[in-house]
Chains A and B, each alone.
Chain A
Amino acid sequence: GAVVSQHPSWVICKSGTSVKIECRSLDFQATTMFWYRQFPKQSLMLMATSNEGSKATYEQGVEKDKFLINHASLTLSTLTVTSAHPEDSSFYICSAKQGASSQPQHFGDGTRLSIL
């Protein structure tokens, strides 16, 4: 149980392109979903928290107009990297949690984004 599916797993695109990443909880309803970014050999840095039906809460330093997050249902959240540039190249990972209490966060497989 508690499977999180993330798609696509790998994206290579030209600078200026917008890229959408999907995160789905397959066998549970995710009240809250989180988006992390991980640069090589570094830790996971939280970008934003999204709750179903409400606006995402972004961490300090994360541009909300560049990283658009939509959490339209209890099983789907999307992250759109708008007008991506080479410095946006990274490993993006979503996670989902059921309920608001101390429940584990379950991670998707991640999306490796490479901007040329």
Chain B
Amino acid sequence: GENVEQHPSTLSVQEGDSAVIKCTYSDSASNYFPWYKQELGKRPQLIIDIRSNVGEKKDQRIAVTLNKTAKHFSLHITETQPEDSAVYFCAASTGNTPLVFGKGTRLSVIA
């Protein structure tokens, strides 16, 4: 089955700096890669996703890149703000299978 590795587990950045979180997956059949943001005690919220037919997707300060050959994908947050502080999860799926999540990255943006 699918295995998703996520790094780093914790990340601290100064406000205004960029943050990058990386994930690798094992199943070459996976074709859907969402990123979720989870604040303490709340539901995971989808912030961006990418499908395997594109290599990059951007939404304002958030971007995701996908390298299918290397089986890794990354989340990039630019101009970080304190409200970006949360736990971020990457996930992978073939589309017909449930999402398999990475272990999460606790991002702290220091004002």
Q: Is the CB of A104 within 8 A of B44?
A: no
A42 proximal to B (CB < 8 A):
yes
Q: Which of B34, B43, B45 has the largest number of chain A CB atoms within 10 A?
A: B43
Q: Is the CB of B51 within 8 A of A104?
A: no
- Given contacts A102-B32, A102-B51, A102-B93, are A43 and B102 in contact (CB under 8 A)? yes
Residues of chain A in range 94-116 having any CB-CB distance to chain B below 8 Å: 95, 100-110, 112
Q: Is the CB of A104 within 8 A of B46?
A: yes
Q: Is the CB of B31 within 8 A of A102?
A: yes
Interface size band for B: 20 to 34
Q: Is the CB of A100 within 8 A of B101?
A: no
Count A-B contacts at CB 8 Å. 49
Residues of chain A within 8 A (CB-CB) of B44 are 44, 93, 107
Interface size band for A: 20 to 34
Once the chains are docked, how many angstroms separate the CA of A109 from the CA of B44? Answer: 8
B63 proximal to A (CB < 8 A):
no
Q: Which 4 A-B pairs have the closest CB atoms?
A: A102-B95, A102-B32, A107-B43, A43-B103
Against A, the Cβ 8 Å flags (1 = close, 0 = not) of B74-94 are 000000000000000100010
